[in-house]
Every structure is written in C-alpha cells, then in structure tokens.
Amino acid sequence: MENCERRKFLGICLEGMASAAVAAVVYPVYRYLSPISGQETSGKVMFQESTISEGEAKFFQYAGSAAVVIKIKEHEVIAFSAVCTHLGCIVQWQKDKGEFLCPCHAGRYTAQGAVISGPPPKPLQALPVKVANGTITIG
C-alpha cells in the first residue's frame, strides 16, 4: 500500500517537471515568432526616401506591430503590415525573388502583398503611404 502511494507521488512530481520543461522551451519560441505587441494604435512614421534602394525593403514599427515598406521604383513605394495573416509570424523580404516569405509555415506573398502559396488566408494588410519632398510617410 505504501509503495503505491509513493509511486503515485513520484509520478505526479515527474509529470509536473515534464510540464515545466515543455513550457520552458515552448514559451520562448512562441514569443520569438509572435509580433511585438504595443500600446500605440495610431500615428505616423516618417523617414527619408534615400534610406531605401530600389527593390529593397525597410522594416519598422507601426501602430505597435511590425511593418515594411518596399521601394518599387523612384518615388514609388508600398507599405504593409509585416504580420502574416495565417498565424501572426513576421514575414521576411526576399529581394532576389521579389516576394515575402513567412518562416513559420512557408506562406509566400507577392511584393504587392497578395498570397502566392501556403496557408495564409488573405493578403498582407496594406498601409497608407505617401512620398513627398524625399520623405516617406506611413500613416
């Protein structure tokens, strides 16, 4: 009888330690892949057009999450939320292919934010952008 209670107690301890170990691994991975949350909900982001070359992307924080602007050609830029519409991972710009790639589940988007392949259910969210006097204004 006493051995049965001891085994049950040890089993509960082992389950608790295993759960703690899993949480210690999963939580940092989750925080790394999820977008940065913030309190900011509006505002404008401005920077010089000369900081981006043609075909390049610039990532920045907008309204509390990751965003990206791409310079299509001189004085023509487009901006998007850099948060994948599938599970909220941050997309990466692949200049050589001219497309975005989501590292979580290999979702792919065109330079215009449309879904090419993978699990994303909808395109990247477009952001209002304007170029005037050599300054790019998002928002």
pLDDT, tens only, 35-69: 665 544 457 888 888 888 888 888 988 888 889 99
Are residue 8 and residue 75 in the same domain, yes or no?
Answer: no
Please count the CA atoms within 13 angstroms of the CA of 128 that sit on its side-chain side: 5
CA dist list (Å): 117 to 56, 69, 73, 96: 22, 21, 25, 17
pTM of the model: 0.64
The total of structural domains in the chain comes to 2
Are residue 101 and residue 132 in the same domain, yes or no?
Answer: yes
Are residue 64 and residue 125 in the same domain, yes or no?
Answer: yes
- What value does the mean pLDDT take over residues 113-139? 87
**Residue 15 backbone phi and psi in degrees, to 5:** -65, -40
Are residue 81 and residue 24 in the same domain, yes or no?
Answer: no
What is the domain extent for residue 17? 1-33
Are residue 92 and residue 69 in the same domain, yes or no?
Answer: yes
